[in-house]
Amino acid sequence: MDALLKVDRCTIRFGGLTAVSNLDMSIGNRELVGLIGPNGAGKTTVFNMITGVYQPTEGAISLNGERLNGLKPFHITARGIARTFQNIRLFVSLTVFDNVRAAFNLHLKHGPFHALTRGPKFKQEEAEIREQAMDLLKIFNLDRFQDVMCKNLPYGDQRRLEIVRALATRPRLLLLDEPAAGMNPTEKGSLMTLIEFIQEKFDISVLLVEHDMRVVMGICKRIYVLDYGITIAEGPPDQIRRDPKVIQAYLGE
Amino acid sequence: MSRARAILGIFLLFLFLFALFGERPLAANLAYYYDILINIGINIILAVSLNLVNGYTGQFSLGHAGFMAVGAYASGSWSEHLSPGMVNFLAGSNGLLNFVLKPFPFLQALPTMFADNLALVVATIFGGLLAALAGLAVGIPSLRLRGDYLAIVTLGFGEIIRTVILNIDFLGAARGMSVTGRYTNIFWTFGIAAIAVYIVLGLVNSTYGRGFLTVRDDEVAAEAMGINTTKYKVIAFVVGAFFAGTAGSLFAHYTGFLTPEGFNFFKSVDVVVMVILGGMGSTTGVVLAAILLTILPELLRGLAHTDFVPAFQKAIEGAIPIHLPPLQGLLENRLILYSLLLIIMMLTRPQGLFGDIAGSRKRVASSPSK
């Protein structure tokens, strides 16, 4: 299998604390992979490491064979990794539409001077962006809220808007950090359909960090289990469900 | 075709306004109001440019007076030492323009009128560029810092500039520096203010410009969306410094005299107050606040001559048998009222006096309807 993302023996230490140790992970093209583990297992640290917020102390990360170590978060996003956040981090003073529009910045052909001269090319690109952003919002049924301040959206819609914003950067790999947090069972059900839909519609790979077992087991083809920064198991859902180490990590002795 | 016509229209409007406002009025009874108008223009430039940094990009800079000082002293020295030769070459009695205009005797007066304005524009651009350079030099290392830390660094920068000028004999040190060419007029003051407003609004109101706002809202999320936050911060800082520099130049060529004390910490605070009062990130509001806060101290000037404080004291002394020390000499009445107004405004309208105007269309639709 040709791997899109490859994490090769990555370790990250904060002072004396080893948050993630010797992590090996590979995600193929169009694969839906889960990352689970008890609280404090280091799941979000793995996310931050892949997206460049933290640099791994040891080991290498590469996307499509290109090394990501040492790159700034915005460089990594430009290479095709987008993410959402565990606690929603939308641009609170912007409208729903502007939140998505801001993410188009990455592929912008014009710069500050074009914004000042406002020539025909600038106007054309702005019109294209508006159209593409509205198309994205329409797919997620958020187009009717385009002029609403995003902080006034219902919680579930805010979560979906964050995904839309991440998709606007045109990623090849989408990292979802606990998208089901704070959702009720019905919402979780529709979230599962949504994630599978996104994976197919946008033809991308998804790495899903999630607490809720039902969500992860339901949609992921492969699952990594982390405990105290160590990978204790890896495999398809059925195998993970029966793994004694995983049961012990979650339920105790 | 319509574009060419628009450019012609703008050019004609430019000429008309220039003919109207390109000269200083000579009537002495107008000088006071002229003074206030120029100050309004300069304060609009300062506040609108600081709003790009503090309002739209969310960085807390306290060094705007420092950049203004750089612009003022740079343009002042340019006018004193370098500009005369250049102006003479272009618009002097044997200059290039006179030579070109020789066949048109009715245009003979133009070069003299032109000379002052040319000198002002070149000096102002020079002052602005040097201030922008200072902005770049301060911005690149310090914009890694956030919030209070950035405020302290920029505050420190302002004080350093002031102290450095105090110790440069060439710039007059503590004696101050006089600028002989008092060229500033309404036309260029408000012309540059209009350019500042256009540039700030033009930058912000585009897909590119949304980047400034994302830096303010959430730097981590902005980086994760592929936005180079450092670049945006530096651009905001440099553009802000440039316009602070042009404001400094206009100030230098208006008053004709510069002292380092004129660019102290309190000058920076004045501008910050305009931005906060106008509503961070609302250009309309900030322009109105700049106008209001320039006029208000003048309106309150009349109070200095009333017996408000002594009368108030007497009333207290009449009610309670105590003797208060004389307040009249200690306090200037209008400053009490000025700060009182500020406190009341901050308590009742923390989003800024005019904070809602700019975004009113969006806020109407702010509650989602299912």
Q: For chain A, what is the HEC assignment? A: CCEEEEEEEEEEEECCEEEEEEEEEEEECCCEEEEECCCCCCHHHHHHHHCCCCCCCEEEEEECCEECCCCCHHHHHHCCEEECCCCCCCCCCCEHHHHHHHHHHHHCCCCHHHHHHCCHHHHHHHHHHHHHHHHHHHHCCCHHHCCCEHHHCCHHHHHHHHHHHHHCCCCCEEEEECCCCCCCHHHHHHHHHHHHHHHHHCCCEEEEECCCHHHHHHHCCEEEEEECCEEEEEECHHHHHHCHHHHHHHHCC
Gap from A149 CA to chain B (nearest CA, Å) = 6
Domain membership of residue B350 (yes or no) is no
The whole-angstrom separation of Cα B127 and Cα B77 is 9
Question: How many independent structural domains does chain B possess?
Answer: 1
Mean pLDDT of chain A: 90
Instruction: Tell me the chain A residues in contact with residue B224 when contact means C-beta distances shorter than 8 Å.
Output: 51, 53, 73-74, 77, 82-83, 85, 166
DSSP codes joined into one string, B218-285: -HHHHHHTT--HHHHHHHHHHHHHHHHHHHHHHHHHHHSEE-GGGGSHHHHHHHHHHHHHH-TT-HHH
**What pLDDT does residue B213 have?**
93
- The DSSP symbol for B182 reads -
Question: ∠ CA(B288), CA(B291), CA(B294), 5° rounding?
Answer: 145
A166 vs B: CB within 8 A: yes
Look at residues A77, A203, A93, A201 and name the one whose alpha carbon lies nearest to residue A140: A201
The whole-angstrom separation of Cα A26 and Cα B344 is 60
**What pLDDT does residue B363 have?**
40
β-bridge pairing A32-36 and B257-258: unpaired
**What pLDDT does residue B334 have?**
63
**What pLDDT does residue B152 have?**
92
Instruction: Tell me the chain A residues in contact with residue B220 when contact means C-beta distances shorter than 8 Å.
Output: 53, 73, 85, 89
Cβ <8 Å between B203 and A116: yes
The pLDDT profile of chain B, 370 residues, written as one tens digit per residue, is 467 777 778 877 877 777 666 666 666 777 888 889 999 999 999 999 999 999 999 998 999 999 999 999 999 999 988 877 777 777 666 777 777 777 777 666 666 667 788 889 999 999 999 999 999 999 888 888 877 888 999 999 999 999 999 999 999 888 989 988 888 888 889 999 999 999 999 999 999 999 999 999 999 999 999 999 999 999 999 999 999 999 999 999 999 999 999 999 889 988 998 898 888 888 988 999 999 889 887 877 766 555 666 677 777 777 777 776 655 544 455 667 677 777 887 788 777 776 554 443 444 334 444 3
- Count other Cβ atoms within 10 Å, centred on residue A142: 23
Residue B183's identity, in one-letter code, is: Y
**What pLDDT does residue B303 have?**
62
Residues A195 and A176 sit within 8 Å (Cβ to Cβ): yes
Cβ <8 Å between B362 and A95: yes
Tokens standing for residue B185? 């007029």
Gap from A249 CA to chain B (nearest CA, Å) = 31
Task: Tell me which residue in A53, A108, A165 faces B225 most closely, judged by beta carbons.
Answer: A165
Which single residue is written with the structure tokens 């002097």? Answer: B92
Query: What residue spans in chain A does CATH classification 3.40.50.300 cover?
Result: 1-80+171-253
**What pLDDT does residue B282 have?**
87
A166 pLDDT above the threshold of 90: yes
Instruction: Tell me the chain A residues in contact with residue B223 when contact means C-beta distances shorter than 8 Å.
Output: 53, 72-74, 77
Instruction: Tell me the chain B residues in contact with residue A165 when contact means C-beta distances shorter than 8 Å.
Output: 225
Among chain B residues, CA nearest to A165: B225
Domain membership of residue B334 (yes or no) is no
The residue range of the domain holding B126 is 30-264
Which single residue is written with the structure tokens 């430019």? Answer: B14
Topology classification of domain A1-80+171-253: Rossmann fold (3.40.50)
Domain membership of residue B55 (yes or no) is yes
Domain membership of residue B260 (yes or no) is yes
Please provide the distance, in angstroms rounded to a whole number, between the alpha carbons at the two ends of chain B: 46
Tokens standing for residue B283? 């250009």
Residues B86 and B188 sit within 8 Å (Cβ to Cβ): no
Cβ <8 Å between A116 and B202: yes
Among chain B residues, CA nearest to A126: B207
Q: Which A residues in the span 40-59 are in contact with B, Cβ-Cβ below 8 Å? A: 51, 53
Cβ <8 Å between A112 and B220: no
Length of chain B: 370
The whole-angstrom separation of Cα B9 and Cα A239 is 76
Gap from B358 CA to chain A (nearest CA, Å) = 13
The whole-angstrom separation of Cα B51 and Cα B31 is 30
Gap from B202 CA to chain A (nearest CA, Å) = 5
Look at residues A29, A21, A42 and name the one whose alpha carbon lies nearest to residue A3: A29
pLDDT per position as a tens digit, A34-49: 998 888 888 889 999 9
**What pLDDT does residue B330 have?**
43
β-bridge pairing A3-14 and A17-28: antiparallel
Gap from B294 CA to chain A (nearest CA, Å) = 29
The whole-angstrom separation of Cα B213 and Cα A102 is 9
B366 vs A: CB within 8 A: yes
A145 vs B: CB within 8 A: yes
Among chain B residues, CA nearest to A133: B207
The whole-angstrom separation of Cα B67 and Cα B78 is 16
What average pLDDT score do residues A227-246 get? 89
Report how far apart, in Å, the C-alpha atoms of B40 and of each of B19, B33, B287, B304 are: 21, 10, 9, 22
A133 vs B: CB within 8 A: no
**What pLDDT does residue B101 have?**
74
Task: Tell me which residue in B218, B235, B281 faces A112 most closely, judged by beta carbons.
Answer: B235
The whole-angstrom separation of Cα B333 and Cα B321 is 24
The residues that bridge with A26 in the sheet, in sequence order, are: A6
Look at residues B67, B62, B128, B68 and name the one whose alpha carbon lies nearest to residue B273: B62
Own/partner long-range contacts of A238-242 (Cβ < 8 Å, ≥24 apart): A240/A36, A241/A217
pLDDT per position as a tens digit, A181-214: 888 888 889 899 999 999 999 999 999 998 888 8
**What pLDDT does residue B362 have?**
42
Look at residues B39, B72, B61 and name the one whose alpha carbon lies nearest to residue B262: B72
